[in-house]
Amino acid sequence: MVVIKHGKHDQLVVDTADHLADTKGGELVFARFMKIDSNEAQIAEEKKYLEMLSEKTVAKASVAMFLCENEVKKIIKNSYEYDLIVLGAPHRSRFGRFFGTEMDKILENANCSVVTLQANFAAPLSEVKEKGSIRSRIEP
């Protein structure tokens, strides 16, 4: 499961998950977790974004939208269905260092392995649309 937050880590998360799936013969499921009160337009926009990302992968990919009250609990609950979760990791605040973060809860309670990634830079979405993935620009 590739958790997409529609943020600066997305391209790194997608490229890393795609590479892992491609080298191991796996398939990707791009997942987006949204609040239950999200409207149809918001859901459609997020689904379109996931579909755009999935079109850029080498490995076979599908899209899953989840509506939930608590994203962390939903990720943990669904983790038993997957071999690996790949997601972007936010920078930790001082508060998070002492009391733990939502990411810590996922790492501690998931029923599968979890890979967290942080991008040192952010590829603008327009660049991703025009040029393809970072991986495709680096590899010959």
- The strands making up 28-35's β-sheet, listed across from edge to edge, are 61-68, 28-35, 2-3, 84-88, 113-117
Supply the mean pLDDT for the chain. Answer: 83
| Predicted pLDDT of residue 122 | 52
pLDDT at 103: 83
Per-residue model confidence (pLDDT) at position 90: 65
Among 7-11, 104-108, 122-126, the range with the most confident prediction by mean pLDDT is: 104-108
Is residue 5 scored above 90 in pLDDT? Answer: no
Q: Name residue, tokens 């599968």.
A: 112
Provide the b/e sequence for 107-123 (b: ≥16 CB within 10 Å).
beebeeebebeebeeeb
2-134 maps to CATH 3.30.420.10: no
Q: Looking at per-residue confidence, does 101 or 92 come out higher?
A: 101
Contact 57, 29 (CB under 8 A): no
Give the start-to-end residue ranges of the domains of the chain: 2-134
pTM: predicted TM-score of the whole model, two decimal places? 0.78
Residue 92 has pLDDT above 60, yes or no: no
Q: Could you give the C-alpha distances from 79 to 37, 83, 85, in angstroms and in order?
A: 23, 8, 7
Residue type at position 106: I
pLDDT for the residue numbered 7: 78
